[in-house]
Amino acid sequence: MNTNVGSADRVIRIVLGLALAIAAFVPGLGLAGTPLLQWGAALIGLVLIATAVVRFCPLYRILGFSTCKVRIND
């Protein structure tokens, strides 16, 4: 599997992923009021974190896009 998520992209994904995953369960926010929004935000947050950890984004692969400057083959 070729990596296609660069360093800056990884940081952004982790920050946004954590923010979404945490915000989904904070009672004072609008996300926690609707179960569909709550679980959708949590799922998107987890996907963002997972793609940052493995440094591979399937959507980037489909679109032929990469933010990784150095090609690392695993």
How confident is the model at residue 73, as a pLDDT? 59
Segment 14-66, tens digit of pLDDT: 999 999 999 888 888 777 778 888 899 999 999 999 999 999 999 999 999 99
Q: How far is CA 45 from the centre of its chain?
A: 6
CA 42 to CA 28: how far, in whole Å?
16
Domain boundaries, the chain: 7-63
pLDDT for the residue numbered 8: 94
**Residue 71 clears pLDDT 70, i.e. is over it:** no
Half-sphere exposure of 62 (CA within 13 A, CB side): 3
Residue 37 is given by DSSP the state H
Predicted local confidence at residue 27, as pLDDT: 84
Segment 4-11 shows an average pLDDT of 93
